[in-house]
Amino acid sequence: MTDPLVMATVAHAKAMALLHGRAFAPRERWGADAIGLQLALPGAFGWIASAGGMILARVAADEAEVLTLAVDPTVQGHGLGRALLEQAMVTARQRGATAAFLEVASGNAPARALYAAASFAVVGRRNGYYPGGDDALVLRRPL
């Protein structure tokens, strides 16, 4: 993965929403307004891969949370997800986070494999949290 990553500003909200919409089912898509609002929150940041991916995360005190991660299906499997996740972890560490958390659906095998390979471990479970019946797994990684 040699494509440069760009730090997102609120001005990127529309482009990020388009990327998000390509990766997620309609009912899970985040619009530009929602992404812009997230990016404007204290501690929030995002990164964009011009080849077709985006990540949004937030640091509060010494904890980081990955809010969403999306890679365009046409370029999945080429390292963009891993690069975006690792860049977000570097940013979170630089901003004082000592651990990162995220939530993933138990049935989302690609995302679970990515997070496991990136040293995230399951620390919690919300049974039947998602509309399709999947559990929500809470994952943590020390930074």
Ligand X SMILES: CC(C)(COP(=O)(O)OP(=O)(O)OC[C@H]1O[C@@H](n2cnc3c(N)ncnc32)[C@H](O)[C@@H]1OP(=O)(O)O)[C@@H](O)C(=O)NCCC(=O)NCCS
**DSSP 8-class letter at 135:** P
Closer Cβ to ligand X, 96 or 99, answer by number: 99
* Residue 64, both tokens: 């980081």
Single residue of 11, 25, 61, 109 touching ligand X by CB under 6 A: 109
Q: For the chain, how many residues are written? A: 143
What DSSP designation does 134 have?
A: P
Instruction: Kindly name the residue from 63, 86, 103, 130 that is annotated as catalytic.
Output: 103
137 lies in the site for ligand X, by CB under 6 A: no
* Closer by beta carbon to ligand X, 30 or else 96: 30
Query: Per-residue string for binding with ligand X, 13-42, x by CB under 6 A?
Result: ----------xx------------------
Nearest alpha-carbon partner for 138 in 103, 106, 98: 103
Instruction: Decide if residue 119 touches ligand X (CB under 6 A).
Output: no
Q: Map tokens 């949004």 to a residue.
A: 56
CB atoms within 10 A of CB 132: 9
Footprint of ligand X (CB under 6 A):
23-24, 69-71, 76-82, 104, 108-111, 113-114, 117
